[in-house]
């Protein structure tokens, strides 16, 4: 009776492994493929070890069990050099077999591609609880949605603005920690084809750690170039002067939109075209998602009470009437980029 819910839970857990946008078991690029290869090698060796140990244990338990009427004490053994050498050498050999390709991969991943003319450099900065993506050579900064061209090396320099986080795109590349204290970690990845992949923070970083999601949107090269150009276009403020003033005072003191506003907090350029608001409220009319809602609806929800969506977020609850929230959400929802 207790086994059934446990099994059901395991099936549920494993069913998530099938999602191509969120699974290390279905790699969508060369780096993820290499890491999947390492996993397969390690798991194969572990399974062999488990099988051999269980077989020997089972054999010994059966073969040397106490028989009815046998009251003798078994032969007492103390030390066996030959056996001890064998069971020390075998794990060493196995560790070397796992270790060589693993170390190779680790150093390969940390390779610095920033000087490669074809690579796109992206500075990733983790914040409680959002992701900042800067394209230093292209002069573009965005948040929550990382747009990259297919088949191109993405050279990442990852750091944190506050505590320890970890940059992870399960289908494309393994975890890269972002360490406090000015430390910068490098890694690279490449997506084989277009699509949208889910990224996660993989290091416990506070109450909203599990909500620190982001998207990786892989597009063709021409679309990527158009996106970069669109990101640099100036954006018009709301025509209604009252809304424009409100936006200037309440939002643009921190956020940047087009050429307007402050540089410090999530850049909102093109936010109306993103797949999520705040990284987790899914912008859709499709009711199969729990957090369903249009961009506008999600923006209203987020602006009205950020703490209810992401506990611990630095986004303050601004003193606005329902109508003002609606007006700002409507303007932001209209900020879409053509690419
Ligand atoms: Cu950031 Cu967990």
Domains and CATH numbers, the chain: 18-65+79-228 (2.60.40.420), 241-333 (2.60.40.420)
223 C-alpha vs ligand 1 centroid, how far in Å?
30
DSSP 8-state secondary structure symbol assigned to residue 233: S
Compute φ and ψ for 267, nearest 5 degrees: -70, 130
169 C-alpha vs ligand 1 centroid, how far in Å?
13
pLDDT digits (tens, 9 = 90+) for 229-243: 999 888 888 888 888
161 C-alpha vs ligand 1 centroid, how far in Å?
12
Tell me the H-state helices in the chain. Answer: 3-15, 30-63, 81-109, 221-232, 241-246, 295-304, 306-309, 322-333
Residue 236 tokens, joined: 């018009």
User: Ligand 1 pocket, 212 CB below 6 A?
Assistant: yes
Pick from 132, 126, 105: nearest CA to 188: 105
185 C-alpha vs ligand 1 centroid, how far in Å?
16
What does the pLDDT read at residue 286?
A: 67
What does the pLDDT read at residue 107?
A: 87
Residue 16 tokens, joined: 């998530």
Residue 131 tokens, joined: 């992701």
What does the pLDDT read at residue 297?
A: 84
Compute φ and ψ for 93, nearest 5 degrees: -60, -45
pLDDT < 50 stretches in the chain: none
Helices 81-109 and 30-63, axial angle in degrees (round to 10): 170
pTM, whole model, 2 decimals? 0.83
What does the pLDDT read at residue 163?
A: 95
Whether the ipTM is more than 0.90: the answer is: yes
Cα end-to-end span (Å), the chain = 55
Distance CA 242, CA 176 (A): 44
User: Ligand 1 pocket, 203 CB below 6 A?
Assistant: yes
What does the pLDDT read at residue 16?
A: 57
Residue whose tokens read 């591609």? 113
CA of 126, closest atom in ligand 1: 1
Helix (H, G, I), strand (E, B) or coil at 257: strand
Work out the number of other CB atoms within 10 angstroms of the CB of residue 155: 20
């Amino acid at each position: 009776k207790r086994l059934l819910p446990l099994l059901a839970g395991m099936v549920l857990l494993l069913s998530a492994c099938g999602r191509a946008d969120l699974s290390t078991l279905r790699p969508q690029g060369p780096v993820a493929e290499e890491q999947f290869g390492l996993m397969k090698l390690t798991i194969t060796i572990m399974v062999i070890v488990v099988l051999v140990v269980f077989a020997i244990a089972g054999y010994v338990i059966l073969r040397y069990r106490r028989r009815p009427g046998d009251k003798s004490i078994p032969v007492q053994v103390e030390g066996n050099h030959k056996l001890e050498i064998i069971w020390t050498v075998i794990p060493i050999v196995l560790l070397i077999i796992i270790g060589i390709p693993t170390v190779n991969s680790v150093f390969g991943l940390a390779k610095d591609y920033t000087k490669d003319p074809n690579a796109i450099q992206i500075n990733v900065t983790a914040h409680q609880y959002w992701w900042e993506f800067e394209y230093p050579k292209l002069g573009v900064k965005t948040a929550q949605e990382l747009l990259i061209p297919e088949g191109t090396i993405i050279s990442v320099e990852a750091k944190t603005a506050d505590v320890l986080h970890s940059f992870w795109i399960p289908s494309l590349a393994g975890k890269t920690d972002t360490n406090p204290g000015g430390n910068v970690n490098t890694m690279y990845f490449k997506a084989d084809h277009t699509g949208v992949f889910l990224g996660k923070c993989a290091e416990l970083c506070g109450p909203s750690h599990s909500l620190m999601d982001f998207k990786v949107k892989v597009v063709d090269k021409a679309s990527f170039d158009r996106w970069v150009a669109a990101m640099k276009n100036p954006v018009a403020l709301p025509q209604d002067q009252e809304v424009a003033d409100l936006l200037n005072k309440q939002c643009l003191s921190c956020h940047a939109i087009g050429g307007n506003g402050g540089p410090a907090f999530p850049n909102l350029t093109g936010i109306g075209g993103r797949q999520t608001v705040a990284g987790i409220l899914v912008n859709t009319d499709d009711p199969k998602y729990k957090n369903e809602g249009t961009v506008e609806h999600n923006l209203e929800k987020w602006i009205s009470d950020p703490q209810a969506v992401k506990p611990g977020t630095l986004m303050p609850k601004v003193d606005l009437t329902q109508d003002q929230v609606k007006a700002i959400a409507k303007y932001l929802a209209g900020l879409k980029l053509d690419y």
